[in-house]
Structure 1
Amino acid sequence: MADHDRDVPLPRFRRKPTLDGEAVLLRPVTVHDVAALMPVFQDAQVTRLTGSHRENGLDEARLRAWYGTRADQDDRLDLAVVEKATGNVVGEAVLNEWDAGNESCSFRIAFVPDAQGRGLGTEATRLIVGYGFEELGLHRISLEVYAFNPRARRVYENVGFVPEGVLRDALLWEGARVDAVVMSILAPEWFKHRGRPAGTGRTLS
């Protein structure tokens, strides 16, 4: 942590909330969710869309060790996405890479293949982004989305994320270099439209 960040109080990342929506419930992720989340790490299409290289491997034991420590983190928020109709854990939504001095952080979300295309990702994104602004007091939340994932980009735009620029050749995937689009949403924008900006249609993800 930089010297100028030491006097900046931690936001309420220590508290792990439960966020209740119409179709999904976001709750603190636990080690018991690993089995349900394994398809996120094993499915070829999911790993491609998230640009997740697995050179070192991610077996269940390593994932259980990782998820077993999420409740203790005071600089990030890892939530499991539960589909309310079934009670199944279908993905995760994360606020991470917190920058205290600039009141900003990054966002990522991933779903198991069977849960995609039903609007669950859009609602989960609204819930956790809203929490970031309204409860954690963040000013900026950003993400990167690869050029070969236009469906995810539409979801982010539907929630109010705005493209900022392109990271050229940011990903090398199976011999091809792929651009990443940087997107962000700011607190004043969120409080203006609450994740439903005018002129955007409903996109399923």
Structure 2
Amino acid sequence: MSENAALPLDQDVSRELPSQITIPPIKGEMVHLRPASVDDLPRMDELDAYYGASKITGKDAQAERAVVHTWVRRSVAWANGQKPDESGVGDPESRRTIAWAVLTDADHDEDGEIDAQSTDNVIGMIFLIDIDGWSRSARIQVVLGRDYRGRGYSRDLMPRVMTYGFAPEPAGLGMHRIWVAVPEQNSRSCSVYQSLGFEPSGASRDALWDAENNKYQDLIVMDTLVDEYDPIRSLDAFGMHVIEDNPGVQEAMSAREHSIAIRKNIAAQAEPAPEPAAVEESADAEQAPRIEKVAAARVPEAHNDDELAAPGEESTWPYGQGERKPSKEAWWRILGRGRKRDMEDDE
């Protein structure tokens, strides 16, 4: 191993979390987010938000309620500039938490009334928890009211929160990794997470008790890294649109423009220069398809193997599902700063 290989990858990134944070509001198409408060906790009970917790997170309802109360209090403490031990619930590892209340002012069931009028438009919460400044890592979790599950709200929420989590400071948290933990029987959530770019990274065997089936089950860990996550594509996957004034989005949009330009440049360089004789034959209708095939074959497979791309649509996914590269520099974070990414592998 070379001397440089032992150096930290993000030498310019602080390993200390700020002592106080301003939690930004985040807009979605179906819902919007604001910082959660202690006053929102009774609303979670009204929403029956802890129903079926063992199937969704592997915890029983009482334990799920307790951790949600802890996460909200830790989030409020951080926003107020309090130390972890001043939150009233403690935080021995100094891993911070951000809690947003999920609100909707829509009438999605078309009954003539706002869906969540009885709970002041709150339908659940979304969290970034275990925010670790040293490893630049955080876990994401959504807790929705019983009647608001399965309507696509998570698909609207998660990409926008993850974009903020990955965006460089001060636009975002500057995280390197975001992960989730899912009971193995919750295959529906696993599918959603994979569509967002998460990859299974391991399993804790028999880590959870499945009360319904009276047996143990594994806890599946899934994660995605900043240089693997495409914040634009994750919205496209579910038919959602970019909201440009959300935190971190401008950096992501700038990076996407750079990424597309780089791919076009690679494709142009891959197209072979025509031979003198071939120039005369350029009018031949058979020549163009041949050149296109050669150019396409030389473009890295990562740009062509995205399962989520519609037929005939060029993928914008930075790394394909079959090409998970070791994390070196965040593709959209670095490009968003206007730097040029070295397209060759570092030896």
Relative to the length of structure 2, the TM-score reads: 0.49
Q: How many aligned residue pairs are there? A: 191
Distance (whole Å) between structure 2 residues aligned to residue 63 and residue 184 of structure 1: 21
Structure 2, unpaired ranges of 5+ = 1-13, 80-95, 107-113, 238-305, 310-347
1:153 paired to 2:153: no
Per-residue deviation at 1:54? 5.2
| Selected match of 2:208 from 152, 166, 171 | 171
The share of aligned pairs that are identical, in percent, is 28
- In structure 2, relative to structure 1, the CA distance for the partners of 1:57 and 1:153 (3 Å cut) is closer
Supply the distance in 1 between the matched residues of 2:232 and 2:16 (Cα, whole angstroms): 28
Partner of 1:199: 307
Task: State the alpha-carbon separation in 1 of the partners of residues 195 and 64 from structure 2.
Answer: 34
Q: Distance in 1 between matches of 2:182 and 2:200?
A: 10
> 2:75 aligns to what?
70
Q: Which has more radius of gyration?
A: 2
SS at match of 1:40: coil
In structure 1, the residue matched to 2:57 is 50
Task: Check conservation: 2:177, 2:224, Cα contact below 8 A.
Answer: yes
1:138 counterpart SS class: coil
Alignment partner of 1:183 is 2:291: no
Task: Call closer, same or farther: CA 1:136–1:194 in 2, change over 3 Å.
Answer: farther
* 3-state SS, counterpart of residue 228 of structure 2: helix
Alpha-carbon displacement from aligned partner over 1:65-86 (angstroms, at most 9, x marks no partner): 8745531126221111112414
Structure-2 residue corresponding to 1:117: 150
Structure with a larger share of its residues in strand? 1
CA distance in 2, matches of 1:144, 1:56: 16
| Deviation by residue 1:42-65 (Cα, 9 ceiling, x = unmatched) | x2x234322223567958xx9778
Give structure 1 stretches of 5+ with no counterpart: 1-6
Supply the AA of the counterpart residue of 2:98. L
Write the deviation string for residues 182-202 of structure 1: whole angstroms up to 9, x where unpaired.
10011112247542564239x
Residues 13 and 136, structure 1, Cα contact 8 Å, conserved in 2: no
Q: Distance in 2 between matches of 1:110 and 1:50?
A: 10
Give RMSD over aligned pairs: 2.8
**Aligned pair 1:105/2:138, yes or no?**
yes
Structure 1, 132-141 or 65-74: larger mean CA deviation: 65-74
The residue identity in structure 2 corresponding to 1:29 is A
Find the residue that maps to 2:229 and give its secondary structure.
Answer: helix
Q: Does 1:79 align with 2:100?
A: yes
Aligned to 2:281: none
Are residue 40 (structure 1) and residue 148 (structure 2) matched? no
> Residue 31 of structure 1: CA displacement?
2.0
Q: 1:57/1:140 Cα in 2 relative to 1: closer, same or farther (>3 Å)? A: closer
SS in 1 for 2:165: helix
Q: How does 1:5-16 map to 2 (within 5 A)?
A: 8-11=15-18, 14-16=21-23
1:91 aligns with 2:108: no
Answer yes or no: is the 8 Å Cα contact 1:170–1:180 preserved in 2: yes
Question: How many angstroms apart in 2 are the aligned matches of 1:65 and 1:76?
Answer: 9
The alpha-carbon deviation at position 148 of structure 1 amounts to 1.1
Q: Structure 1 163/40 Cα, relative in aligned 2: closer, same or farther at 3 Å?
A: same
